[in-house]
Structure 1
Amino acid sequence: MASLSIEKRQLKNGEFRYKATIIVKKKQAIIHRESKTFKKKEHARTYGKKRLSDIELNGVNSTKTVPLSVLLDKFMADKDLWNNTGRTKRYVIEMLRDCDIARIDTNELKTSDLIQHCKNRRGAGAKPATIYHDIAYLRSVMKKANPVFDIEANYKIFDEAVPVLTDMQLIGKSEKRTRRPTGDELEALKQGLIERQNARANGQARIPFVDILEFSILTCMRIGEVCSLRWEDINEEHKTVVVRDRKDPRKKQGNHMIVPLLAESFDIAMRQPKESELIFPFNSRSVTAGFQRVRNKLGIKDLRYHDLRREGASRLFEKGYSIEEVAQVTGHRNLNVLWQVYTQLYPHKLHRAL
């Protein structure tokens, strides 16, 4: 049995909105719920009565188009989709669910709607590179609407909208990051991290911040990779380690790579206590949090932990390693990305190579 209710609510600016909610029950249990908000009460009532009629004639799945909020809810509720969605994409999808654009039907989305959303986000302080994620991830969800949920979605509108949004500078790619820590900054960081790890209270695990910092630079590994390395994956004879499920745009699960432990990185790993199956058995967020607190205390500006990966790659290039050899360390399959994003060479150091 399907029922309709109209809810009136007042916005902060004094305007009123009317939400039409359809609830379908079977044996007193709710088996379906959907809603859509309108500026006028009569529009909400007209929509609600039409949907009630559709449901009574054809069942719950009679509709081929729903508000974007419903599609986003379905995406988040599907474990096969949601469990394979990265943290950043999850955050964006959850944010989009509460935006004005979520009220628009999946098959009625227009370029003007996307423009207005981008302007709203810009007005809230978001940068073009951040807003680009909104558009990219919304498009990704809408492309799955029909094959997964049997919902019609006008995802092809993005082919028209993206060039327009780019021309209007509402969306854009991230600027190339070139930050590398200076020698003085690294020395100050190491000293500050030593003080931090020595100041841990009794009974608390002391994170070897300096070892992890140096290991991160020498191996060009992400901090999540460092804190996931296993003793069983080290080959002492070849001085290599297997990095499991290494990040890749196409495939992460099962993307295991054998990585050489160059310079002192092998010695750093081998001197860690073998008290766990992990070489560095620490929460990666705790490591980065400690790094950030020391960095902020020292007044070091615009330096992220991930910049250590660029530092390591740039050092390898400065030592004369080829791009293919550096890729064996960093794990890049796209050499253009490695060269353009993860290298920032110091020109004066080229004299050493000569």
Structure 2
Amino acid sequence: MPSYYDENSKNWYCIFYFTDWTGTRKQKKKRGFARKKDAQEWERDFLARQSVNPGMKFASMAELYLQDKQEHTKQITYQTKKNRIEKWILPYFQDQQVDKITAANIRAWQGEIKNTHGANGKPLSPGYLQNIVTELSGIFNFAVRFYGLAVNPCVVAGNTVGKKQKSLSFWTKADFDKFIDTFQASDERYTAFMLLYYTGMRIGELQALTLADLDFKKGMIHINKTYHIIAGKPVITPPKTAKSTRDIFIPKFLIDCLKGYIGRLYKPQQEARLFDLSRSAYASALKQHTEQAGLKQIRVHDLRHSHASLLIELGFSALLVSERLGHESVSTTLNIYSHLFPSRQSEVVDKLERLYNEGK
């Protein structure tokens, strides 16, 4: 594995041939190494990636994993994964050889991140820690599936950082009425929060809404896109899942609310976003006005849970709740809200009793 010294640049470089995934033989040249050893290591790692070899550096495997995710997942999902890997995983494992990382190494890493504090100065939550561990396990699963790694060491190590606590925060209609009464009806945020509570749409779906998405004649809102900030830039993407593209029917009072809001806008364009405040602005307003109303604090996303709770209280089925929220399946709805559906076991017993007696 020869490397060469460039007298002009005073740096080392490597040049070699390899066969890519299509079977084509190609030449690769890489310059700018301070040491001969660095050039040789780079060539060795590059060839390991091309030859489906789990002996490459972890940083290279993570790069391949992220390339795959960039091709096959939504941009926001890719960016989230990239941020977690770069911040919490690569600093520990980047220079280690993938097939040399053991379950003991994983457990030692888990011990360190459990004692790490986030940007707010507080320990990382069990839910967030679980997300990081899942991300690391995903990289090793990728190596097992596509690069011949014998076993995922995360599976052997287990999860010592804790798990997400399944809790659901929501407001009743009485709670929401107290909250919304702290706004002037002419306030943009009044209309935004009315929509979030009475439709269950996601905040990104609200931020992406345009005039073209509103059909007042049919009394519906077309949800067909969502708004994100990715790498500091605003991005409009398709909704979270295929089922998230949906039509939400709305009552007359919400139509009137929207018409009043639009009437106060200056020459609104069909394709311009109607609600252009940032997520942090909505979160800040929610916190401030919740305090004014004397209510328990919830997140903006919890207004979506509040809508689901309202529908369940009104007696609607899990299927209808699922369709309105744009869940991928009814099982998703039941996984989140099953405990809110009233038990009808006694009703079943009564009907079986009557059926039996009628037969006799």
Residue in 1 aligned with 2:199?
219
Residue in 2 aligned with 1:316?
311
Residue in 2 aligned with 1:95?
87
**Do the aligned partners of residues 72 and 60 (structure 1) sit closer, same or farther apart at CA in structure 2, a change above 3 Å counting?**
closer
Aligned length: 295
**Do the aligned partners of residues 222 and 154 (structure 1) sit closer, same or farther apart at CA in structure 2, a change above 3 Å counting?**
farther
Give a deviation string over 1:303-340, Cα, whole Å, max 9, x none. Answer: 11111111111111111222212222111233233234
| Alpha-carbon distance between aligned partners in 2 of 1:112 and 1:128, rounded to the nearest angstrom | 21
Q: Which residue of 231, 242, 247 maps to 2:222?
A: 242
| Alpha-carbon distance between aligned partners in 2 of 1:263 and 1:34, rounded to the nearest angstrom | 68
Tell me if structure 2 keeps the 8 A contact 1:272–1:280.
no
Identity of paired residues, percent? Answer: 15
Q: Which residue of 153, 156, 178 maps to 2:168?
A: 178
| Alpha-carbon distance between aligned partners in 1 of 2:297 and 2:289, rounded to the nearest angstrom | 13
Are 2:257 and 1:268 equivalent residues in the alignment? yes
The alpha-carbon deviation at position 54 of structure 1 amounts to 9.2
For structure 2, the residue ranges without an aligned partner over 5 or more in a row are 6-10, 16-27, 117-122, 228-238, 343-360
**Do the aligned partners of residues 3 and 261 (structure 1) sit closer, same or farther apart at CA in structure 2, a change above 3 Å counting?**
farther
Q: Which residue of 260, 274, 281 maps to 2:275?
A: 281
**Partner-residue secondary structure (3-state), 2:241:** coil
**Do the aligned partners of residues 135 and 224 (structure 1) sit closer, same or farther apart at CA in structure 2, a change above 3 Å counting?**
same
For structure 1, the residue ranges without an aligned partner over 5 or more in a row are 5-21, 36-44, 199-206, 348-354
* TM-score between the two structures when normalised by the length of structure 2: 0.66
Q: How does 1:108-147 map to 2 (within 5 A)?
A: 108-124=100-116, 125-145=123-143
Give a deviation string over 1:189-228, Cα, whole Å, max 9, x none. Answer: 335444xx98xxxxxxxx6111111111110111111121
**Do the aligned partners of residues 153 and 128 (structure 1) sit closer, same or farther apart at CA in structure 2, a change above 3 Å counting?**
farther
| Alpha-carbon distance between aligned partners in 2 of 1:241 and 1:342, rounded to the nearest angstrom | 24
Q: How does 1:5-16 map to 2 (within 5 A)?
A: none
**Do the aligned partners of residues 54 and 97 (structure 1) sit closer, same or farther apart at CA in structure 2, a change above 3 Å counting?**
closer
Tell me if structure 2 keeps the 8 A contact 1:76–1:82.
no
**Do the aligned partners of residues 110 and 293 (structure 1) sit closer, same or farther apart at CA in structure 2, a change above 3 Å counting?**
farther
The letter of the residue matching 1:292 is K
Residue in 1 aligned with 2:30?
31
| Alpha-carbon distance between aligned partners in 1 of 2:320 and 2:241, rounded to the nearest angstrom | 21
CA RMSD of aligned residues (A): 4.2
**Partner-residue secondary structure (3-state), 1:238:** coil
**Do the aligned partners of residues 218 and 340 (structure 1) sit closer, same or farther apart at CA in structure 2, a change above 3 Å counting?**
same
Aligned structure 1 segments of 4 or more residues deviating by more than 6 angstroms: 32-35
| Alpha-carbon distance between aligned partners in 2 of 1:136 and 1:33, rounded to the nearest angstrom | 36
Residue in 2 aligned with 1:41?
none
The letter of the residue matching 2:30 is I
Q: Which residue of 77, 82, 106 maps to 2:98?
A: 106
Are 2:156 and 1:160 equivalent residues in the alignment? yes
**Do the aligned partners of residues 34 and 219 (structure 1) sit closer, same or farther apart at CA in structure 2, a change above 3 Å counting?**
farther
